[in-house]
Chains A and B, each alone.
Chain A
């Protein structure tokens, strides 16, 4: 387990000194800054209450709930197939990935498994939504730091991915394509060739971002050594996904658990970074987009023939029982605990979304940093507000 970095220790000391000045000597007056709910850096309506001493953060706390939509409760009055159209909207940038763990949990309860072709296509679409999600993150990083150009490159190349998702599923943002026992449809004609072309474009996009943003000295000086999260702290706060891997913990649910998906059939690598700073988090995500394009390429070559739907009854009744399935979503571990009483719909669904847990470390990591670093640290922790509030 890594020790606290020197910088982190210094910022602790500075924050404590600021605390002491605020509370005891009353020489200076602190200021409480509300970052959000309406603020360009919060990707929606997250509110961060920051107590400042000059430009230094003495104490900060995220305050969620401004966009709570009650999906856990809403699932209780829907049938199982209807739930996917709701949970699509949790992480709206990579929405197909939201459907998969819920469908897998329902399939686990019903004790059926999707045919191999459906598993392959599920995995391909899962990785495409990861690319659509994290690709936008890579462009958005620049905007958080005042570089306006990369985000347009991200939108330009994300468009190709969205076109692919639209071609396969009919929906650009909210596919609602996953069914219990398989998929709604097979892939359209010519889709595989086009996907291969797009994967080439995306690898070029990754190189461009690598050059323009990650190779920039200012970007590096803003990112390196800022917001360091040691691996033990990361584990204690329940971080997952790239945030955890950037702290040096080699943990990836795609590899570490056996699900009826196709990840174990291809050759890919789990990227980690030992530093745990903002730079590491961004770098790991960049590598993961590259890795995803490789996964998709290999899956397209090995896609088996056969049906895309298993034999399921027309009216789906899920037998009584409880199931927990989580997958490695673009933002981190996303899981559903589904309780069924044998009805048409779930009795209770608990959603474990990645951003909610990832944001819980904000008070720890924001303590002692400067105001501009709040923005870069939040950007590198990468949350989607729908994923926090649900």
Chain B
């Protein structure tokens, strides 16, 4: 961070910048996804206009919605376990903030430089399950309970294909550090042609597909939205929540979509980088400082493409049944990703 501004920033200043950066990195994607995809793309797909009144083309609608939710009464059901009930949405949102910490946005624009970043990201990604489970349990509502239990079963089942899909990338990059994975993709070349660097999506296409499907399930988006299932469970674990606690769940849902898209673009699409050979860079040390500005923008674009796909599927597919979902995870995704790992390892050793 300090290199970006070319001045020495004291430690408290760096910490402050990191906190602000983290908030922006979580909330900006969430807001963009909600407006661009949930409000507008969904409306155009359904032959309607979506919000048009608040601001030009309804762009201020999100602020109106937030204002509405903040004004609503914060209802806690009489039978609910009040302390846990109030804590649950915060756990969910917290896991998103903890997740964005490892994502590198530029050569120096990262929050924490983890050497086991992939491991950390996959571990912290499942913290939100705890939040969802306790939300379902503490609501004292049968629908919420069913939703919470479904969420627990589903998120644990899809944790495994996600981990296995990432293992292929880790083998290929030879590192678990997300920054190293970005460098490995941008310093490579395809048979001597370095037009696009060497994003791992080309070799790890199967892994990418499995990862995106697992992300879809992890985010509980249609077709894997049984924990929410509006037409069956009346929003599942979120049924009893209102006001700003519902808002936190809502932000958490879309912010997590954004952060998982960030991670997917780091792992498979080359992250913040442009191919190093374009500018004659050799390694991370050569990368110019302006990439600390350009990198986040590139990441943001890639994030929008990936979340666009996630939302597109969400708006057009019906949902699975619970047992079909488990069968899909254990019988299709996990064998495929295991085969992918084996193949990657063999090729890595052989070449």
Contact = CB atoms under 8 A, between A and B. Distances in A.
B315 interface: yes
Contacts of A152: 46-48
29 contacts: A40-B230, A55-B150, A144-B231, A145-B231, A145-B318, A146-B231, A146-B318, A146-B319, A147-B316, A147-B319, A148-B42, A149-B45, A149-B46, A149-B316, A152-B46, A152-B48, A153-B46, A156-B47, A212-B316, A213-B318, A218-B318, A218-B320, A221-B321, A370-B321, A370-B322, A371-B146, A372-B232, A372-B321, A374-B232
B229 interface: yes
Contacts of A41: 231-232
Contacts of B46: 148-149, 152-153
B316 A372 contact: no
7 A-B pairs closest in CB distance: A145-B318, A152-B46, A146-B319, A147-B318, A372-B321, A146-B222, A375-B232
Interface residues of A, number: 31
Interface string A191-229: 000000000000000000000110010110110000000
Q: Specify which of B142, B223, B321 lies most central, judged by the most chain A CB atoms within 10 Å of its CB.
A: B321
Interface string B43-72: 001111000000000000000000000000
B47 A55 contact: no
Interface string A107-145: 000000000000000000000000000000000001111
Contact of B317 (A144, A147, A153, A374): A147
B234 A39 contact: yes
A375 B143 CA distance: 14
A156 B46 CA distance: 9
B133 to A, nearest CB: 16
Contacts of B230: 40, 146
Nearest to B224: A146
Interface of B: 42, 45-48, 142-143, 146, 150, 222-223, 225-226, 229-234, 315-324
Contact of A218 (B223, B231, B232, B234): B223
B318 A149 contact: no
Interface string A166-178: 0000000000000
A222 B47 contact: no
A40 B234 contact: yes
Contacts of B146: 33, 55, 371
Contacts of B322: 55, 370, 372
B71 to A, nearest CB: 24
A145 B317 CA distance: 9
Interface string A23-37: 000000001011000
A259 B316 CA distance: 43
A387 interface: no
Nearest to B324: A221
B234 A222 contact: no
B118 to A, nearest CB: 31
Given A145-B231, A372-B226, A372-B232, A218 B319 contact: yes
A366 B329 CA distance: 27
Nearest to A373: B321
Nearest to A375: B232
A40 B45 contact: no
A222 B231 contact: no
A219 B324 CA distance: 12
A41 B150 CA distance: 19
Nearest to B142: A33
A33 B233 CA distance: 11
A31 B142 contact: yes
A144 B233 CA distance: 11
